[in-house]
Amino acid sequence: MRRRTFLGLSGATVAALALQSSAGQTPPPGLIGSYTWRSGPKGLGGLSGLRLTADGGGFTAITDRGGWLSGRFARDDAGQITGVSSGPITLLRALGASPLRKGRTDSEGLAMAPDGSVYISFEREARVLRYARLDGPAENLPTPDSFATLSANKALESVAVAANGMLYTLPELPQGSQFPVWRFWRGIWDQPFSLPTRGSFLAVDADFGPDGRFYLLERDFHGLGGFASRVRSFNLTSAGPKDERVEMQSEHGRHDNLEGLSVWRDAQGLRLTMVSDDNFMFLQRTEFVEYRVGKALV
C-alpha cells in the first residue's frame, strides 16, 4: 500500500501514538511475539508481501515500490524472532532486462507455486506477473476486463497459490458486501466465488496454509485508534468457501500496518507470520508479528 489520504503525516502520527499506547494492553489470544527490524538493507520499507520457507527460518518479501529481498530469521529456543538478516533490495524486472516502469511498480501480493515459480499482484495497474525466478524477467498473465473496474488504489493486494497450482487473487476493496475472488487455471481466469466482508476490515494479503485452508489477512484503520488486524480462514470447496473461522484479531493500536502474511507449520502446529508496511515513514516501523493458529476465535 502506497501512502494514501488516510495515511498522510497526521495519520502516521496517530498510528504511532496508538502503537505506543498499546504497549501495556493484554496480548491478544495466540500472540507469540513481534520483532521490529531496524537495521535492514538500504531502502528498506513498504513491505507488502511475505513468504516463509517451510521451516520458518527464511523469507522472501516484496516492497510496494517494485523491489524484493530474501533473508533469514534468528530465533530463540522458544521459536521467537530475535534477529533478521537479508540481502539487498533488488528491483523486479519487466519483460526484458530493465526494471518495471515508473507507475507500474506497486507490487503488493506475493505467492510461490509448487513448481518454484513466483506470482506478484499489483494494485494501481491491476495485473499479475509470473516469474520463473525472481531475479529473471517477468511474464504477463492474461488480464481479464474485470480488473479494469477495480479501484486504482485498492486493487489486487492479495495473491495465493493452492497446492494443486491454482492461483487466486482478490482486491483490497470489496464490491458491495463481498470481496470478489478470481482464479487462474490452465491459462484462463474465472471468478468462481466471493468472500463476505465482516465489519470495516479490508483485504490486504492471503495464503494457503499447510492444512489446505485459505487464510485472509485484513486491516482496519481508525485514526487515533491506529491499525487493527484480523486473519480469517476458509475451506475452499467446489461449492464455494465454507467453514469460516477467525484465527486472530488484534485491537486497534496493537501492531503496525500488517500487510504481508505467510502460514507455516512448526513442531507445535500452524503459525501466522505477518509483516508491516511502514509506508516509508519514520513514525511507523517494519514489524514481524507471529500468532499461533489454535482454536478459532469464532
In a domain, 297, yes or no: no
Average pLDDT of the residues in 221-225: 88
Tell if the pTM clears 0.85, that is, is over it: yes
The residues, ordered by sequence, that sit 6+ positions from 108 with a Cβ below 8 Å of its Cβ are 1, 48, 49, 62, 64, 120, 121, 122, 123, 156, 157, 158, 204, 205, 259
Contact 288, 278 (CB under 8 A): no
In a domain, 154, yes or no: yes
Give residue 22's pLDDT.
Answer: 55
Average pLDDT of the residues in 251-255: 96
Cell of 72: 533469514
Mean pLDDT score of the chain: 92
pLDDT at 13 over 60: no
In a domain, 181, yes or no: yes
In a domain, 298, yes or no: no
Band (pLDDT 50/70/90 cuts) for residue 24 is low
Q: Which of 109, 53, 120, 44 is nearest to 286 (CA)?
A: 44
Decide: residue 141, CB within 10 A, 0-12 exposed, 13-18 middle, 19+ buried: middle
Contact 254, 263 (CB under 8 A): no
pLDDT at 53 over 90: yes
Band (pLDDT 50/70/90 cuts) for residue 236 is very high
10 Å Cβ neighbour count for 145?
Answer: 7
| d(C-alpha 86, C-alpha 119), whole Å | 21
Q: How many domains does the chain have?
A: 1
In a domain, 273, yes or no: yes
In a domain, 39, yes or no: yes
Band (pLDDT 50/70/90 cuts) for residue 7 is very low
The boundaries of the domain holding residue 182 are 5-292
Q: Which residue has the higher pLDDT, 273 or 3?
A: 273
Average pLDDT of the residues in 146-174: 96
**pLDDT above 70 coverage of the chain, percent:** 90
Average pLDDT of the residues in 123-147: 97
pLDDT at 6 over 50: no
Average pLDDT of the residues in 58-66: 98
pLDDT at 20 over 60: no
pLDDT at 15 over 60: no
Band (pLDDT 50/70/90 cuts) for residue 294 is confident
pLDDT tens profile 265-284 = 999 999 999 999 999 998 99
Average pLDDT of the residues in 177-187: 97
pLDDT at 82 over 90: yes
Cell of 88: 539487498
In a domain, 272, yes or no: yes
Average pLDDT of the residues in 176-190: 97
Give residue 147's pLDDT.
Answer: 97
In a domain, 17, yes or no: yes
The residues, ordered by sequence, that sit 6+ positions from 260 with a Cβ below 8 Å of its Cβ are 47, 48, 49, 50, 61, 110, 205, 217, 274, 275, 277
Give residue 153's pLDDT.
Answer: 87
Task: Cell 476465535: give the residue.
Answer: 297
Average pLDDT of the residues in 165-169: 97
| d(C-alpha 7, C-alpha 253), whole Å | 14
Any idea what the CATH number is for the domain that residue 260 is in?
2.120.10
Average pLDDT of the residues in 135-148: 97
Give residue 228's pLDDT.
Answer: 98
